A = this chain, B = another copy of it.
Amino acid sequence: MTGKSCVSVEQFDKELVLELCKFAALLEVTEIASSHPLDELIVITAFFEASTRTRLSFESAALRLDAKVISIPDGKTTGSAKGESLADIGEMMNAYGDLVIMRHTDTNSINEIHEKLRLPLINAGNGTGEHPTQALADWYAILKWNPKLKGVVKDDEKITLGILGTPGSMRAVRSFLEMSLLFKENIKEIHIVSELADPLGAILTQKLEEADVHPHITNDINEVISELDVIYMNSIAFLGDGYKTLDSRFKLHKGSKLKSDAVVLHPLARLDELNTNLDETDHNLYFTQAHGAVFVRQALMISMLDRFDRLPDDIPFV
């Protein structure tokens, strides 16, 4: 990933995901602060679409590596609110930092900023596009839970995946589904829980065809819950600025008929689709998921900025 931007899951193959997860795992247990890996580098967190959780996650990841941070916490007061092009904002950033983390409501924002931006960029969410580092964090958690999935498992060890949401229009969900395709040999079945008849859209449908993966669509989680090993929950109640009421077909709680060793993911924030009464159970992988996200993002930043030489000797690295 050296010198490159991280904008789409399409940049990843299984091997790269495993490398980054291995690196993240080492970062999680190694005292790294005293090596000052990103010393003298400036990370620009450009959240034209505000997000406290993701912004703080990246800022914490960067600061713990001794980078410095400058921040656009909200797009409303920026030049882009007045009509300035993202290309020009990209040119501006070339002068101010070394790495950009960007979230934007416009799916085409990644292309636009790259007309001029010469710094590596991490896409933290572009409209209905992608959210690749979230998918990395998701799979980092899954591989922690079941390390065998790093290799190729036997048929009876394959997992059944449940995804709540609309991959075709929800970027975190799309990225998760696409990254899951890299592990398809270990996946028995994918169930997508959505109220829409076609939650995938044309492009994803084609990708799945090409990958010879055929998810089953249902509009009720309870129909499939007892088959699921990994359940990817989502807050789907918000559509744009409106809020719609979910019913039990899209909610998970302690009483749901989960397999005894099933685990739940959720990129958070959540409303009531994922009941807090699951927090203290062994099904809760979503807090691990959130904690691990910082290390995955650190692994990515050190790689993109080529600062391997700064790591302490006890992190052996390829």
For A269, list chain B residues within 8 Å (CB).
79, 82, 84, 88
Q: Is the interface of A mostly helix, strand, loop or mixed?
A: helix
Taken together, the copies of this chain in the complex come to: 3
A271 to B84, Cβ gap below 8 A? Answer: yes
CB-contacts of A89-128 with B (<8 A): 89, 91-97
For A89, list chain B residues within 8 Å (CB).
52
For A59, list chain B residues within 8 Å (CB).
70, 96
A42 contacts B by Cβ under 8 Å: yes
Question: How far is the CB of A32 from the nearest CB of chain B, in Å?
Answer: 10
B40 to A33, Cβ gap below 8 A? Answer: yes
B74 to A291, Cβ gap below 8 A? Answer: no
A77 to B73, Cβ gap below 8 A? Answer: yes
For A179, list chain B residues within 8 Å (CB).
none
Complex CA distance for A203 and B107, rounded to whole angstroms: 48
B57 to A95, Cβ gap below 8 A? Answer: yes
A68 contacts B by Cβ under 8 Å: yes
B70 to A63, Cβ gap below 8 A? Answer: yes
How would residues 42 to 68 of chain A score, 1 for a CB under 8 Å from any chain B CB and 0 otherwise?
101000001111001101100110001
For A271, list chain B residues within 8 Å (CB).
82-84
Which residues of A does B touch, CB under 8 Å?
33-34, 40, 42, 44, 50-53, 56-57, 59-60, 63-64, 68-74, 77-79, 82-85, 87-89, 91-97, 238, 243, 268-271, 276, 287, 290-291, 293-294
> Could you jot down 27 A-B contacts, CB within 8 Å?
A33-B40, A34-B40, A40-B64, A50-B77, A56-B70, A56-B72, A57-B95, A57-B96, A59-B96, A71-B71, A71-B73, A73-B73, A73-B74, A73-B77, A74-B74, A79-B268, A84-B269, A84-B270, A85-B276, A87-B276, A88-B270, A91-B287, A92-B268, A92-B290, A94-B291, A95-B291, A95-B293
